[in-house]
Structure 1
């Protein structure tokens, strides 16, 4: 039997993303974001929710651009640091030993060492209360070569993305392969013979 636990958002897992932008002073900065994901296929768009208190918010609003950077499990400390320190008084890239690289299209820095980075241009934003929800159109995607599959797409088993469990404050890896999408449920389809 289920128990009422009140109003909560136990959506597991949440992606652990580092969203980066240039600050109003032109310096690269970023923050850890767990409220994000794909929100449209054509054009490809990513949504990220940024707390109003975050320094990086000002840069995203000014430049109308950001990058979404996917850290690996091995980069948990670097990614977590982007959620601990403030860009108001810390050069997060330098402190974490990471390299900001100017995007080719979006006016935002990507993180060279992380397996996957997506350049995004803001197409919409919405004030939801504690956070501003940004929808960014993906204008270019970068991936480290060693993380690509035979078709040239990022392979989750090679990327080994860091994931976050809301409310518990814990990071995890993906875990074992469970099955193939659009295949496992076929056993419930009516037999069409």
Structure 2
């Protein structure tokens, strides 16, 4: 799936594989994890909403592209991936190629670091230069299925 955040003219997207869909305090939610080393992290910190979308199997190469290229260096990575952004009624990004968006518009309702300090020293983080992951919990306020 992809995570997209920002507004028209100032957005970024990345591939996500860590996350959950569920219910919290009687509300449908999506939980995503974003490393502080990722360009998308700064977008998550300064925007109230984010979107999560799935794409059909024939578009999986687009997810591979946005997951392996940084928007810091490649300002045109979304179109190079073959994705066409459109925007929800609140102005949040979604992709026209998507076939499912379980959290078309999700409001971040909680943020916290996800790893205790003992895990931060693990080789998974130190050798790859990953920052600490932040957990974002967003309330699902709209679902779009193509």
Instruction: Answer yes or no: same fold by TM over 0.5.
Output: yes
1:30 lines up with 2:4 in the alignment:
no
Q: Residues 57-136 of structure 1 correspond to what in structure 2 (within 5 A)? A: 57-90=41-74, 91-105=76-90, 107-117=91-101, 118-129=104-115, 130-136=132-138
Partner Cα distance (1:71, 1:36) in 2:
16
**8 A Cα contact 1:110 1:119, kept in partner:** no
Instruction: After TM superposition, give the deviation of residue 104 of structure 1 in Å.
Output: 1.6
1:39 lines up with 2:25 in the alignment:
no
Q: Which consecutive residues of structure 2, in runs of 5 or more, have no partner in the other structure?
A: 116-131
Instruction: After TM superposition, give the deviation of residue 51 of structure 1 in Å.
Output: 1.1
Structure 2 counterpart of 1:138: 140
Structure 2 counterpart of 1:180: none
**8 A Cα contact 2:11 2:43, kept in partner:** no
Q: Which consecutive residues of structure 1, in runs of 5 or more, have no partner in the other structure?
A: 1-16, 145-193
Task: Figure out how many residues of one structure are paired with residues of the other and give that number.
Answer: 126
Higher RCO, 1 vs 2 (CA within 8 Å, ≥6 residues apart): 2
Q: Which has the larger radius of gyration?
A: 1
CA RMSD of aligned residues (A): 1.8
Instruction: After TM superposition, give the deviation of residue 92 of structure 1 in Å.
Output: 2.0
Question: Moved runs in structure 1, 4+ residues, more than 3 A?
Answer: none
Partner Cα distance (1:131, 1:108) in 2:
23
Instruction: After TM superposition, give the deviation of residue 95 of structure 1 in Å.
Output: 0.9
Instruction: After TM superposition, give the deviation of residue 26 of structure 1 in Å.
Output: 4.6
**8 A Cα contact 2:85 2:93, kept in partner:** yes
Normalised to the residue count of structure 2, the TM-score between the two structures is 0.79
